[in-house]
Amino acid sequence: MQSNAQKRPLGLQIAIYTFAGLWLLMAAFPFVWTVWGSFKVELDFFSIADWTYAITGERTKAEYGRPFTGAGYEGAWIKEEFWRNAINTFIVCFFVVCTSLTIGTLGGYALSRSAYKYTFFLLITALIFRAMPPVTLVAGYMLPFFEWNLWGILPTTIIVLVAINQPFTLWMLHSFFQSIPKELDESAKVDGCTQFQAFRNVIIPVMWPGVITTGLFSFLLAYNDFAVTSMLLAEENRTMVPQIAAFLGTTYTEGNVMFAVSAVVSATVPLFILVMFFQRQIVSGLVAGAVKG
């Protein structure tokens, strides 16, 4: 029910819808444009002659007889074997999320249930670690990793990403566990459980919403990382993002920009699906961080 005083004048109403439309365009248009263009040839996607070619695909028609072509995808996935990078990304993300949730849950739970002063200092240390650009750490990894022959392989990158993930995971799970009443595990302990049994039997069954939300952000961090993966992985073990960067180095000269474009679109698809199914969790995760932080 809106009272007269709250009813908006027409001008404001129009302004609101115009601005919302503009923002929607700003947020979505680049993606729509790139997805559409990825099915064209390079001369259409980067059209000097006439920008409408990018929509109608004149050159693509001339070359392939149809206004759409999967040539870019074929080149990236089959010729350049982008599927290897996709598998690597999948492995890295899967293990990063699992490991960082396992150790982060234990740590976050401990932080939320301990009343001693050192929890504060641990959280502040985590905040400082969170603030540091990951690339500043990479110089410190290089020498030992080369020395012990750990450089270039997936497990090393996974464990590094887990560690870089920890500060954020700890903060998030810490605030989530604080919202679970202490009485739950206290009463389990009164009934004779050890702390770990209380955690396993009482807390684990109710922690999944928070863990899933945190897991989403861990996944995003692992999936989106470029600085660490590109410096620590050997060429044959590259994940998708450093591979796309590598495409840029080689393809600008070879005239195969469309490989990079279709690889970019391919790498966006999982994120798109993620937002589609987990929109609520992402939003609530961001908000939880803001309220507690």
Partner 1 sequence: MRHSTFFWFFLPTALAMLLFIAFPIVSVVMQSVFAPHPAVLVEVETCTPLSGCQRETTIDQEATRALREAEPLGRFVGLDIFTDRGHLATSEIKAIWANSSTWNEVFQRLGNLPFYRAMMFTLVFTFIVTPFVILLGLLIALTVNALNARLKGLVIFFSLLPFVITPLIGALVLFWMIDSRGVLGSSIQWIFSDPNLSLKASTGLMWFSLILYGVWHAAPFAFVIFYAGLQTLPKDQIEAAQIDGATRLQQVRYVVVPHLMPLVTFVALIQLMDNFRVFEPIVGFNAAAHAQSLSWFIFNDLGGETRQLSSASASSVLTIIGVAILLSPVLVRTWRDFKGKA
Which positions from 112 through 141 interact with partner 1, judged by CB under 8 A?
113-117, 120, 122, 124-141
* 127-166 CB burial, b ≥16 within 10 A, e <16: eebeeeebeebbeebeeebeeeebbbebebbbebbbebbb
Binding mask 85-104 for partner 1 (x = CB under 8 A): -----------------xxx
Question: Near partner 1 by CB under 8 A, which window of 67-75, 77-85, 90-98, 274-282?
Answer: 274-282
283-to-53, 146, 168, 206, 286 alpha-carbon distances in Å: 38, 41, 16, 20, 5
Number of residues lying near partner 1 (CB under 8 A): 99
Check binding of 107 to partner 1 (CB under 8 A).
yes
Binding to partner 1 in span 182-221, by CB under 8 A:
195-196, 199, 220
Question: Near partner 1 by CB under 8 A, which window of 65-73, 79-87, 205-213, 267-275?
Answer: 267-275
Look up residue 155 and give its two tokens.
Answer: 């497990």
Binding mask 156-185 for partner 1 (x = CB under 8 A): ---xx-xxx-xx--x---------------
Check binding of 227 to partner 1 (CB under 8 A).
yes
**Shortest approach of partner 1 to residue 240 CB, angstroms?**
8
**Shortest approach of partner 1 to residue 95 CB, angstroms?**
13
Binding to partner 1 in span 23-42, by CB under 8 A:
23-24, 26-28, 30-31, 33-34, 37
